[in-house]
C-alpha cells in the first residue's frame, strides 16, 4: 500500500526501447545510448506492470524510441489489459503493418498516438531523417479503419510552426480524434540543436492565432491540445504535474524516473531490477529529492506559485545552470532568466535577418531492439 503522505501515480510511461528508425533532432532519447542497451525482458516488463497496477497506475503509455521494434509488444499489451490498465501506443507508425495492427488489436490495445513531423512529404521526411511521411498516413488510416481512437502528436519548432494550419487540416482529413501540438522542450538533443529549432516570437504569435481559431471551428469534432514553449512563457510549467506526484517513467534498462529526461540529473539511480516499484515511488532518494516544496531555494520558497509550478523543470534548471535545485530559468523571477531571454532574442534576430532557415543537426540512429 502506498504511504498516505504520497499520492498514487496515475500514469506509467513505459519506454520499451531506445531503438528508433527516425533521426529527429529534438529526440528525447539519451545522448549516451550505449549506456542503456540492456533492455528489460518480457517477463520483467510483466512484473513491472503488476507492480504498477498494485501501486495505483491506471494508464500505460507504451513508448520509446519506437515500441513497435519490440517483438513482444502484443504480449506486453495483453498483460496490461488483463491487469485493467488503459493502453496507449505512442509510435512513429513505421512498422505498424496491417498484420502488426491486427495482433495489437487482438491483444486489447486501447489507443494509438502517431507522431507527425509536418503536413507534407518533403519537409516531414527531412525533419524525420528518413522517408516516412506516406507510411505514417497509411498507418493513421489503418488505425481509424480498425476502430481505434487516433491521436496525432506534432513537436513544433522553427521549421514547422508556420505550417500549423496545414497540419491541422491534415489531422482533420485523417479523422484524428485528438491532436497534440507541443513545442520542443530544450534538453538533451534538443538543447544541443536549440539554435536551429527555437522559433521567434512572431512565429509563435501567428501559431497561437491559428490554434485559437481551429479550436473554435473543430469543437466537438477534434480535441486540439496546444503546449506553449517554455522559453516564451512568463512562468515555468510544473515538472510532470509535480515531481513524483502523478506519473513515473520506466526506461528500457529498468531505471525508474520521475520524468523521461531525469536520467540527465546527477541523482541516485532507482531500478526495478533492484527494488520494487512501490519502494521506488514512495521512499527512494530519487523520487523524494524534489517532491513537494521543502527543497526549494528562493525565489521559489517565498513565491505564491510554489505549489502551482513547483519551481519548474529540474532537468532544464540543471542543463542551463548546472544546479538541478535552482529556479527554472524560464521563470521571469529566476536570477538566471537572462540565459533564456538571450536565446529568445537570438531566435528573433535570426528571423529578422533571414538566417533562421538553418538545418538543425541530427543524432545517430539508435539501432534495433529485441
Q: Which pLDDT tens digit goes with each residue over 38-76?
A: 999 999 999 999 999 999 999 999 999 999 999 999 999
Residues making up the chain, counted from first to last: 370
Q: CA 134 to CA 231: how far, in whole Å?
A: 32
pLDDT digits (tens, 9 = 90+) for 126-139: 999 999 999 999 99
Most confident of 31-35, 192-196, 348-352: 192-196
- Per domain, the residue ranges of the chain are 11-227
Class of the 11-227 domain? alpha beta
Q: Is 79 labelled as part of a ligand binding site?
A: no
Mean pLDDT of the chain: 92
- Does the structure show a pLDDT above 80 at 20? yes
- Does the structure show a pLDDT above 60 at 363? no
Question: Looking at residue 2, what is its pLDDT?
Answer: 40
Q: For 137, phi and psi rounded to 5 degrees?
A: -65, -45
Q: Is 27 labelled as part of a ligand binding site?
A: yes
Q: Is 239 labelled as part of a ligand binding site?
A: no
Question: Looking at residue 361, what is its pLDDT?
Answer: 55
Q: CA 100 to CA 37: how far, in whole Å?
A: 24
Question: Looking at residue 187, what is its pLDDT?
Answer: 86
- Does the structure show a pLDDT above 70 at 286? yes
367 versus 33: the higher-pLDDT residue is 33
- Does the structure show a pLDDT above 80 at 180? yes
Q: Is the dihedral angle over the CA atoms 175, 181, 185, 191 positive or is it negative?
A: positive
- Does the structure show a pLDDT above 90 at 342? yes
- Does the structure show a pLDDT above 70 at 370? no
| Sheet architecture: strand order including 150-156 | 223-227, 178-183, 150-156, 111-116, 86-91, 59-63, 11-15, 247-250, 256-257
Question: Looking at residue 355, what is its pLDDT?
Answer: 55
- Does the structure show a pLDDT above 50 at 310? yes
- Does the structure show a pLDDT above 60 at 269? yes
- Grade residue 31 by pLDDT with cuts at 50, 70 and 90: confident
Q: pTM of the predicted model, to two decimals?
A: 0.93
3-state secondary structure 8-75: CCCEEEEECCCCCCCCCCCCCCCCCHHHHCCCCCHHHHHHHHHHHHHHCCCEEEEECCCHHHCCCHHH
pLDDT digits (tens, 9 = 90+) for 186-240: 988 899 999 999 999 999 999 999 999 999 999 999 999 999 889 999 999 888 8
- 281 neighbors 352 (Cβ within 8 angstroms): no
With both helix axes pointing from N to C terminus, report the angle between 73-82 and 42-55 in degrees, rounded to the nearest 10.
Answer: 30
Q: Which residues contact 340 (CB under 8 A, 6 or more apart)?
A: 230, 231, 320, 329, 330
Q: What percentage of the chain carries pLDDT values higher than 70?
A: 94
Within 10 angstroms of residue 96's Cβ, the number of other Cβ atoms is 23
Amino acid at each position: 500500500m502506498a504511504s498516505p503522505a504520497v499520492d498514487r501515480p496515475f500514469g506509467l510511461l513505459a519506454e520499451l526501447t531506445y531503438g528508433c528508425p527516425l533521426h529527429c533532432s529534438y529526440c528525447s532519447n539519451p545522448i549516451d545510448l550505449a549506456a542503456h542497451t540492456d533492455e528489460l525482458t518480457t517477463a520483467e516488463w510483466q512484473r513491472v506492470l503488476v507492480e504498477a497496477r498494485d501501486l495505483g497506475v491506471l494508464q500505460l503509455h507504451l513508448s520509446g524510441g519506437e515500441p513497435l521494434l519490440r517483438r513482444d509488444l502484443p504480449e506486453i499489451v495483453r498483460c496490461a489489459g488483463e491487469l485493467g490498465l488503459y493502453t496507449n501506443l505512442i509510435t512513429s507508425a513505421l512498422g505498424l503493418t496491417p498484420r502488426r495492427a491486427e495482433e495489437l488489436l487482438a491483444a486489447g490495445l486501447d489507443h494509438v498516438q502517431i507522431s507527425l513531423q509536418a503536413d507534407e512529404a518533403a519537409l516531414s521526411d527531412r525533419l524525420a531523417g528518413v522517408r516516412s511521411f506516406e507510411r505514417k498516413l497509411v498507418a493513421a488510416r489503418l488505425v481509424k479503419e480498425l476502430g481505434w481512437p487516433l491521436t496525432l502528436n506534432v513537436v513544433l519548432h522553427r521549421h514547422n510552426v508556420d505550417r500549423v494550419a496545414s497540419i491541422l487540416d491534415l489531422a482533420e482529413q485523417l479523422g484524428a480524434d485528438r491532436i497534440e501540438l507541443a513545442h520542443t522542450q530544450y534538453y538533451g538533443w534538443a538543447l544541443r540543436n536549440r539554435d536551429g529549432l527555437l522559433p521567434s516570437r512572431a512565429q509563435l504569435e501567428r501559431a497561437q492565432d491559428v490554434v485559437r481559431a481551429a479550436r473554435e471551428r473543430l469543437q466537438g469534432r477534434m480535441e486540439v491540445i496546444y503546449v506553449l514553449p517554455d522559453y516564451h512563457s512568463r512562468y515555468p510549467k510544473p515538472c510532470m504535474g509535480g515531481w513524483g506526484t502523478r506519473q513515473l517513467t520506466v526506461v528500457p534498462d529498468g531505471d525508474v524516473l520521475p520524468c523521461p529526461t531525469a536520467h540527465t540529473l546527477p541523482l541516485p539511480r532507482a531500478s526495478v531490477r533492484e527494488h520494487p516499484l512501490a519502494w521506488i515511488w514512495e521512499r527512494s532518494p530519487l523520487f523524494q529529492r524534489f517532491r513537494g516544496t521543502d527543497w526549494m531555494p528562493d525565489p521559489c520558497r517565498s513565491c505564491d506559485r510554489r505549489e502551482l509550478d513547483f519551481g519548474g523543470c529540474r532537468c532544464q534548471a540543471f542543463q542551463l545552470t548546472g544546479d538541478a535545485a535552482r529556479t527554472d530559468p524560464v521563470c521571469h523571477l529566476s536570477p538566471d532568466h537572462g540565459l533564456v531571454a538571450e536565446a529568445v532574442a537570438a531566435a528573433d534576430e535570426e528571423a529578422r535577418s533571414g538566417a533562421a532557415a538553418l538545418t538543425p543537426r541530427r543524432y545517430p540512429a539508435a539501432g534495433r531492439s529485441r
